[in-house]
Amino acid sequence: MSSSGIPQSGSALTEDEAEDLLRCICFKTGPPRALGVEVEWLVHELRDPRLPVPPQQLASAVDTVRSLPLASAITLEPGGQLELSSPPAASLMGCVDTLSADLRAVRDALFPLGLSLSGYGVDPWNAPRDRLLREPRYDAMEAALDRTGPSGRAMMCDSASVQICLDAGHEEPGPLGYHRRWQLAHLLGAVLVAAFANSPVHGGHRTGWRSTRQALWTDLDPARALAPAPDGEPRAAWARHVLDTPVMCVRGEEAPWEVPEGLTFREWLRTGLPRPADEDDLRYHLTTLFPPVRPRGHLELRMVDAQRGPDGWVVPVAVTAALFDDPEAAESVYRAVKPLAERAGPQAAPRNPLWLAAARDGLTDPDLHAAALVAFPAALEALPRIGASPAVQRAVAAFHERYVLPGSCPADELQEVAS
């Protein structure tokens, strides 16, 4: 390791070695057992969330939170958002209980400092703020994303999500097979966007989207923010996609890092320029791809807006876990969402017509509403089978009654925050 923290270059990779490595590390198959969650929060003034938090106050708060004995990892995002990442849990309730306890500890620590955690997909009150983290990675990311407009900076600094991590699934075919789960994630993902849309207002203005956060992703470099079409063999399709995506940056011993334009990882391997690429470069490249479904050994579902309330995040986690990990529910919901593939068409999420409708219209879209009316009852039936507590079951049932049955979503209650 160098003094700058960047690993020294190892042996140069060949294309064949890179493809083999990607097939091995991105889909690790086996019986679905583990569940993890990453929850991002906007940090606001407790007395008035419309007031921006001064950087010095936020830095002091982060130091306080990092001193807590948490089971979850805590990260400061570029715009000052706090992210808590749970450890992998063997059950839904193991995940929920651990993360809930950590969130209570964080809120208790922030309260005396006059700060609170707010669950919105984008900041509804404050205009896009400048990036707080000045690190080579984020300097390079900003430079790369600026090439396609301002949405990249807004995504980095003003957005927050609930990211749900599931095992890739069995090697064998069936409702829990990795191929089926890959397809389900891309079709059910649109339903999750629509049902949990929670960001219709950004910086005090209505945007015309129920999930402005999801709309931001559609404006980014499509090679970086899209996933390959889910109807092919997942390992081969993902390996091709990774190698054919331009690199965000070439890390160096000193900042700033080089931000080449249009240099795919495949071309980097073939030319060896600006320096030979090694395994560590490939693994780093994977962290710079942001599709709504990202295979990282497990499947990382990245499409759900942050949810309001201290426990609002539990509902999308419980629904998703039930629909993916209970075989009966997985089969029912797959049959319900499979017809959506025709509407999605050949274009990858989130830029295809189905995902755009989910972000814009939520569950007012008839096709997405029909799918949700199957998905949520299937999840409710499965929750007792996967060990969900009565409190979690009641929370999902209340969300179903409040939003899903009438074809609404949390965003429809947020219009009043616009100035």
Share of the chain above pLDDT 90, in %: 82
- For 106-116, write each residue's pLDDT tens digit: 999 999 999 99
Tokens of 27: 């889909």
Residue 218: count of CB within 10 angstroms of its CB: 18
Mean pLDDT of 202-213: 95
Angle between helices 353-361 and 366-382 (to 10 degrees): 80
Give the predicted TM-score (pTM) of the model: 0.94
Higher pLDDT, 229 or 224: 224
pLDDT of residue 5: 36
Residue 302: closest CA among 209, 201, 166, 401: 166
Average pLDDT of the chain is 93
Looking at the predicted structure, is the pLDDT value of residue 174 above 70?
yes
Q: How would residue 372 be classed by pLDDT, with cut points 50, 70 and 90?
A: very high
Measured distance CA(240)–CA(397) in Å, rounded = 41
Mean pLDDT of 341-364: 93
pLDDT of residue 1: 32
pLDDT of residue 271: 96
Tokens of 211: 């999930």
Q: How would residue 417 be classed by pLDDT, with cut points 50, 70 and 90?
A: low
pLDDT of residue 419: 46
pLDDT of residue 335: 97
Domains of the chain: 15-409 (3.30.590.20)
One-letter identity of residue 347 = Q
pLDDT of residue 183: 94
pLDDT of residue 162: 98
pLDDT of residue 223: 84
Strands (E), 287-409: 293-296, 298-305
- For 152-173, write each residue's pLDDT tens digit: 999 999 999 999 999 999 998 8
Residue at token pair 């089969």: 331
- For 118-146, write each residue's pLDDT tens digit: 999 999 998 777 888 889 999 999 999 99
- For 239-293, write each residue's pLDDT tens digit: 999 999 999 999 998 889 999 999 999 999 999 999 999 999 999 999 999 999 9
Looking at the predicted structure, is the pLDDT value of residue 355 above 80?
yes
- For 5-54, write each residue's pLDDT tens digit: 333 457 899 999 999 999 999 999 988 889 999 999 999 999 998 888 88
Residue 69: closest CA among 11, 108, 43: 108
